[in-house]
A = this chain, B = another copy of it.
Amino acid sequence: MEIERKFLVTSDAYQQEAASSIRIAQGFLSTDPQRTVRVRIMGNQGFLTVKGASNASGTSRFEWETEISAAEATNLIDLCKDVILEKVRFMVPLGDHVFEVDEFLGENKGLVVAEVELQHEDEFFERPSWLGEEVTGQKEYYNSQLSQKPFTEW
């Protein structure tokens, strides 16, 4: 189970606070919210990830992932449906947590979201100055949905 909260971002100050950034391309073999199947290329690594349905609050979801080669991931991305998502991910440490800030490119350009992974639903975390409205559980912000209905078409 993965517990995550997701927020909009109100300024680009996170870029100065980031410890690292990496480019990500990803597509979906299934966008069914009950059984999403994602193919990701991150740097020179590939990943295949399966996610189950979210709980009622949208914070928690079964997640299973296996690393594959970037070459295998490239072949599998060619099979994916809809739009291939491209984004730059900034890793921003703050207190006991690391915020993952995704700057989308291409058909989702203009969208920036921050996620923080928690051990428990109600865990305290320090809020960076640029953290905006919470969008946890809002399906239109799921990456699987952004591949079907990208941000520039909203």
Residues of A at the B interface (CB closer than 8 Å) are 29-30, 32, 34-35, 37, 48, 50, 52, 62, 64, 66, 68, 72, 75-76, 79-81
Contact = CB atoms under 8 A, between A and B. Distances in A.
Copies in the complex: 2
Contact of A32 (B34, B64, B81): B81
Given A35-B80, A48-B48, 19 more contacts: A29-B30, A29-B32, A29-B37, A29-B50, A30-B30, A30-B32, A30-B37, A32-B81, A34-B81, A35-B79, A48-B66, A50-B76, A50-B79, A52-B79, A62-B75, A62-B79, A64-B75, A66-B66, A66-B68
A29 B79 CA distance: 15
A3 to B, nearest CB: 17
Contacts of A79: 34-35, 50, 52, 62
Contacts of A81: 32, 34-35
A138 B149 CA distance: 33
